[in-house]
Amino acid sequence: MPKDGGIGASVVRREDTRFLKGKGRYTDDMNRPGQTYAYILRSSLAHATLNNIDTAAASAAPGVIRVFTGADITAAELGGVPCGWQITDKHGEPMKEPAHPILAVGKVRHVGDPIAVVVAETYDEARDAAELIDIDMTDLAAVVDMRTAETSGNQVHEEAPDNVCYDWELGDKEGTDAAFANAHHVTTLEFINNRLVANPMEPRCAIGEYDENDDNYTLYTTSQNPHVIRLLMGAFVLSIPEHKLRVYAPDVGGGFGSKIYHYAEEAFVTWASKEIRRPIKWTADRSEAFISDAHGRDHVTKAELALDAEGKFLGLRADTYANMGAYLSTFAPCVPTWLHATLLAGQYTTPMVHARVRAMFTNTVPVDAYRGAGRPEATYLLERIINKAAQEMGLDQAEIRRRNFIRTFPYDTPVALQYDTGDYDATLNAVMETADYAGFEARRAESASRGKLRGIGLSCYIEACGIAPSALVGALGARAGLYEAATIRVNPTGSVSVMTGAHSHGQGHETTFAQVVSDALGIPADQIDIIHGDTDKIPFGMGTYGSRSLAVGGSAIVKAVDKVVAKGKKIAAHLLEAAESDIIFEDGQYKVAGTDKAKAFAEVSLAAYVPHNYPIDEIEPGLEETAFYDPKNFTYPAGSYLCEVEVDPETGKVEIVAMTASDDFGNIVNPMIVEGQVHGGLAQGIGQALLENCAYDEHGQLVSGSFMDYAMPLAVDLPNFVVETVEGTPCTHNPLGVKGCGEAGAIGSPPALINAVVDAIKGYGIDHIDMPATPLNVWTAIQNASAKQAAE
């Protein structure tokens, strides 16, 4: 049983109080003395030459302080927006990495590319003045479809011939070809993974402030990783050393990946605040977010699965086009490669896997990681083609998976990962029992009696989280380490301030991290404060993404706590006149083993700050410790999801009857928060599978550019979820035994849902439908298949 408020307890969240009272501190809630406002004039064309920008009228408009264009950026010799990951292609050449100026220079390359910024006394004045800017552009043919980008004859960047960023491969090609040559059956599936927009409810916002007294800059920004922004912006764009630059990301209203990246607006407001000697605030409206936040997914793949007569997987081939958009966003190159192809073994013993990935430049918004980042694409590929193979071979969808499960650990996959632990039968058994898989045919018959087509779909996912061992990712092209840092500051009277490099933007770290520290130090959680988001307060940090906060950030906290306790033992030994080796620490007490002599945690803390009776020759006063934790391996959360749908053949409408998730996240600190994370992931996965689609027309115009056109899941669109975690297999290499839970729902649910839809309509001879399975798409598939059946 969990201790009150410690690890394992569903403690309600402390941060909720301020959010529920309307007292959250989001970036746009802040205003700085003398603040000005920036409005960004963005390209309305996808691809055009910039001939002339006439800002004279705008500059003279009421309230305008200054108008900036790419010429100012060039004159100031600012760096471009950097990319944090370099992929080496299959010929050993580095990827093509064209410049990404803060404001467009010479050319615009996507709708939304920033052309000019008006800074004025009020936001309305800035926006009014922007209408007076006269831009002379020559429209160029846009590269939109990545499948034809290579042969379109149009160039997004001169440096990237045929619009190829890289052509990359992973796995044993010859071995995989041989496996296919010996196959009893080969299943082929061509499909898209639809482009999505992350759309956290808080639009991005940035305030730059220059202090000429100290020559210091402060950037207030909506970021998932303020230290990363400080590093990228300071070192590569503005040449501001770290000690002169503070990046503060206060309460952030959701991220889902889209707030990881360093964006041009952050660099602009920081730099320009010195130019005009006043703070500058920029806040995106939603329409602007659609054309300036990095998008997600957007793959086109041909996959092939080779099987023997019993349904054992012999080999898998995947050939993927991945859309990079017009420029390389911070982590974009690693998403379809090291976060995607490496997951293609899934939960299965497939001995041979080969993946080829071509990353393409197009005249669209940059694409980068979105909740799951590569792993949803890998899971969708695998779990869809397995169901198609099962359908073709007449095997049950659960049985074919069982015949291929990995059951011995550690397990080295053919695609560069080593799974440390797992129990895939446990989650599959659990989900089949909870969702009553055995009783499905009776439910299908009942639906049929009402004219509805019922289907059931399974998906068994694995993901690699806890990103990541620095040496490993360095070898794979990362331009940063991916450890995490924490400081435990024990205050003189025994309360504790925890500084963590992880960043909470909905995950509830202020509550869960306090549970971890409370458990370790044996002090009440209300004596513990969690501080995050401010580079001036926190030693360092790589931030929150990839379900890494507890696995990596939590481990850094545990390491720092261990150091505090180790020092506390030395102090206690002195106070208790005992040998240090006889001191044990438990339940908030330093005890002499085998005696009733003890000192409370707070007594030892006070002694450290009032060192009258203290081993001063041996140790320093004070009680504050910092630790950096670099993971030894990824963590591997895994699970099984079952989705049951009813399709109305008359309208094509898909109704989710049940969505059941069974996950193995290893140890769990706060079950309530973990469930909530899975709920949110499920909602985004269901959104991808049923509703959401980021669509461009052939001219590169974004067709789905607002909440009127882009279908965000609403309360009426989603079912109640059944979410359970099994008695897990704890991670073997981090001190908490945790694996991460933030992305699972978004990874496991899309293939489960599409598998269910295909199961429902397979009677028409349909074996695949692309996402999103909107009523129109499903109805059209049924009509086409019916016409084909009638003709035969």
Q: Which residues bind other proteins (CB under 8 A)?
A: 12-13, 15-24, 26, 28-29, 124, 199-203, 251-254, 256, 285-287, 505-508, 672-673, 675-676, 679-680, 682-684, 706-708, 712-716, 718, 720-721, 745
∠ Cα 623 624 628 (to 5°):
145
| Count of helices and strands (H, E) across the chain | 19, 30
Contact present, 431 and 660 (Cβ < 8 Å): yes
Nearer residue to other proteins within complex by CB, 601 or 710? 710
Nearer residue to other proteins within complex by CB, 417 or 686? 686
Nearer residue to other proteins within complex by CB, 105 or 672? 672
Interatomic CA distance for residues 542 and 360, integer angstroms? 28
How is residue 469 annotated by DSSP?
Answer: -
Nearer residue to other proteins within complex by CB, 431 or 608? 431
- Residue that has been written with the tokens 């299908």 in this structure: 444
Contact present, 575 and 569 (Cβ < 8 Å): no
Nearer residue to other proteins within complex by CB, 139 or 285? 285
Contact present, 606 and 494 (Cβ < 8 Å): yes
Structure tokens at 271: 């730099």
**Smallest distance, other proteins to C-beta of residue 281, A:** 11
**Smallest distance, other proteins to C-beta of residue 238, A:** 29
**Smallest distance, other proteins to C-beta of residue 336, A:** 24
Nearer residue to other proteins within complex by CB, 716 or 791? 716
Interatomic CA distance for residues 530 and 507, integer angstroms? 13
- Give the pairing of strands 48-54 and 107-108: antiparallel
Between the alpha carbon of residue 741 and those of residues 14, 213, 684, the distances in Å are: 20, 45, 14
Nearer residue to other proteins within complex by CB, 584 or 657? 657
> One-letter amino acid identity for 66?
R
Contact present, 654 and 509 (Cβ < 8 Å): no
**Smallest distance, other proteins to C-beta of residue 512, A:** 12
Structure tokens at 456: 């059931």
How many CB atoms are closer than 10 A to CB 739?
A: 32
Interatomic CA distance for residues 340 and 344, integer angstroms? 7
**Smallest distance, other proteins to C-beta of residue 604, A:** 35
Interatomic CA distance for residues 306 and 534, integer angstroms? 51
**Smallest distance, other proteins to C-beta of residue 505, A:** 6
**Smallest distance, other proteins to C-beta of residue 30, A:** 9
**Smallest distance, other proteins to C-beta of residue 670, A:** 9
Interatomic CA distance for residues 533 and 223, integer angstroms? 8
Nearer residue to other proteins within complex by CB, 23 or 184? 23
For 228, list phi and psi in degrees, rounded to 5: -65, -40
Q: What is the 3-state secondary structure (H, E, C) of 27-64?
A: HHHCCCCCCEEEEEEECCCCCEEEEEEECHHHHCCCCE
Structure tokens at 553: 């950030």
**Smallest distance, other proteins to C-beta of residue 14, A:** 9
**Smallest distance, other proteins to C-beta of residue 753, A:** 14
**Smallest distance, other proteins to C-beta of residue 759, A:** 23
Nearer residue to other proteins within complex by CB, 155 or 287? 287
Between the alpha carbon of residue 779 and those of residues 454, 647, 648, 785, the distances in Å are: 15, 10, 9, 10
How many CB atoms are closer than 10 A to CB 522?
A: 16
Nearer residue to other proteins within complex by CB, 292 or 729? 292
In terms of residues, how long is the chain?
792
> One-letter amino acid identity for 756?
A
**Smallest distance, other proteins to C-beta of residue 665, A:** 17
| Residue spans of alpha helices (H) in 374-525 | 375-393, 397-402, 424-434, 440-449, 470-475, 509-521
Nearer residue to other proteins within complex by CB, 619 or 722? 722
How is residue 343 annotated by DSSP?
Answer: G
Q: Which residues contact 551 (CB under 8 A, 6 or more apart)?
A: 465, 466, 631, 635, 731, 734, 736, 738, 739, 740
Sign of CA pseudo-dihedral 118, 29, 670, 198: negative
**Smallest distance, other proteins to C-beta of residue 707, A:** 4
**Smallest distance, other proteins to C-beta of residue 685, A:** 10
Nearer residue to other proteins within complex by CB, 252 or 521? 252
Nearer residue to other proteins within complex by CB, 15 or 648? 15
Nearer residue to other proteins within complex by CB, 44 or 470? 44
Q: Which residues contact 408 (CB under 8 A, 6 or more apart)?
A: none
